[in-house]
């Protein structure tokens, strides 16, 4: 058994991604794409993915340590299962072979793998009591390592301490409880997991907003970012033309503009780009 898949296994698991990868084999969506996606809305991401046939990419009903802070990052996935002694012994032995100390809590094993721009995404089967994956100490480690945060389908503790974390970090979670994590065993890191009704693969791009969590497969990240930017630019154009009373709201507020309006938009966009240069 391995706690994390080998490089070849991760590449096979995420074969739809053809770009750069981390040494582990996990997809590495470029930083500039992540930066662009910070301006995207959940609805824009969801709409693009839905049209692409990925209809189960959103999970809602979250609490946030920093409400309103949008986070975007590459998923490092982890799954915990209810504790079973014989299985836990196998995991401890496998962890030792991969350099993890038995004396460390297994949630710390996940945190040790995180890099800048990552989001720790944890399936702990919605467990709240004794399902608190991070408190203020481990939360600080997550924030320091990633600069982003986490999505935890379970509990957290030390909320007041976590809320004092500085920077553009946010930890999405289901609820808060004072108990420490126990009664669970780590089933794997960077494996397919389930968050709500969403399957998350390592390297997926996670977009966390006040609406909820959208999970963007790595191979679609750049296209979602481009589509979101196009929507924003079209919105500026449409509002400008409405304020000028050049078109009616019925003409602008449609799924597809007429050929006349589309041509006007393309000309306006080219002129705008020239001015920005």
CA distance 28 to 30: 6
pLDDT, averaged across the chain:
96
CA distance 250 to 40: 25
CA distance 17 to 216: 12
Task: Report the candidate in 104, 114, 40, 105 with the shortest Cα–Cα distance to residue 72.
Answer: 40
- Output the pLDDT for position 276: 73
The residues near 176 (Cβ < 8 Å, ≥ 6 apart) are 63, 128, 132, 155, 156, 157, 159
pLDDT tens, 78-135? 999 999 999 999 999 999 999 998 878 999 999 999 999 999 999 999 999 999 999 9
CA dihedral 128, 130, 132, 133 (to 10 degrees): -120
The domain defined by 7-217 folds into Glucose Oxidase; domain 1 (3.50.30)
The residues near 244 (Cβ < 8 Å, ≥ 6 apart) are none
Instruction: Judge whether 75 and 203 are in contact, CB under 8 Å.
Output: yes
CATH 3.50.30.40 boundaries in the chain: 7-217
* E strand or H helix that includes residue 189: strand 184-189
Q: How confident is the model at residue 277 (pLDDT cuts 50, 70, 90)?
A: low
For the entire predicted model, the pTM comes to 0.93
Q: Is the pLDDT of residue 186 over 80?
A: yes
pLDDT tens, 8-17? 999 999 999 9
Q: Is the pLDDT of residue 184 over 90?
A: yes
In residues, how long is the chain? Answer: 277
């Amino acid at each position: 058994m391995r706690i994390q898949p080998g490089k070849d296994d991760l590449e096979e698991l995420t074969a739809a991604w053809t770009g750069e990868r981390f040494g582990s084999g996990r997809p590495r969506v470029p930083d500039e794409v992540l930066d662009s996606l910070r301006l995207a809305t959940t609805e824009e991401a969801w709409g693009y993915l839905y049209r692409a046939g990925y209809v189960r990419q959103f999970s809602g009903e979250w609490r946030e340590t920093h409400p309103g802070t949008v986070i975007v990052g590459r998923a490092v996935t982890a799954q915990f299962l209810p504790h079973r002694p014989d299985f836990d012994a196998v995991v401890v032995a496998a962890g030792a072979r991969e350099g993890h100390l038995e004396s460390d809590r297994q949630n710390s094993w996940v945190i040790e793998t995180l890099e800048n721009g990552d989001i720790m995404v944890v399936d702990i089967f919605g467990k709240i009591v004794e399902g608190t994956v991070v408190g203020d100490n481990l939360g600080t480690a997550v924030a320091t390592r990633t600069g982003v945060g986490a999505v935890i389908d379970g509990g957290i503790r030390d909320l007041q301490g976590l809320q004092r974390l500085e920077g553009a970090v946010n930890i999405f979670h289901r609820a808060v409880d004072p108990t420490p994590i126990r009664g669970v065993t780590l089933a794997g890191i960077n494996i397919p997991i389930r968050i709500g009704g969403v399957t998350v693969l390592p390297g997926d791009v996670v977009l966390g907003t006040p609406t909820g969590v959208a999970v963007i497969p790595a191979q679609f990240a750049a296209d979602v970012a481009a589509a979101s930017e196009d929507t924003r630019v079209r919105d500026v154009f449409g509002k400008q033309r409405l304020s000028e009373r050049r078109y009616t709201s019925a003409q602008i507020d449609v799924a597809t503009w007429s050929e006349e309006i589309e041509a006007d938009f393309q000309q306006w966009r080219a002129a705008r780009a020239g001015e920005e240069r």
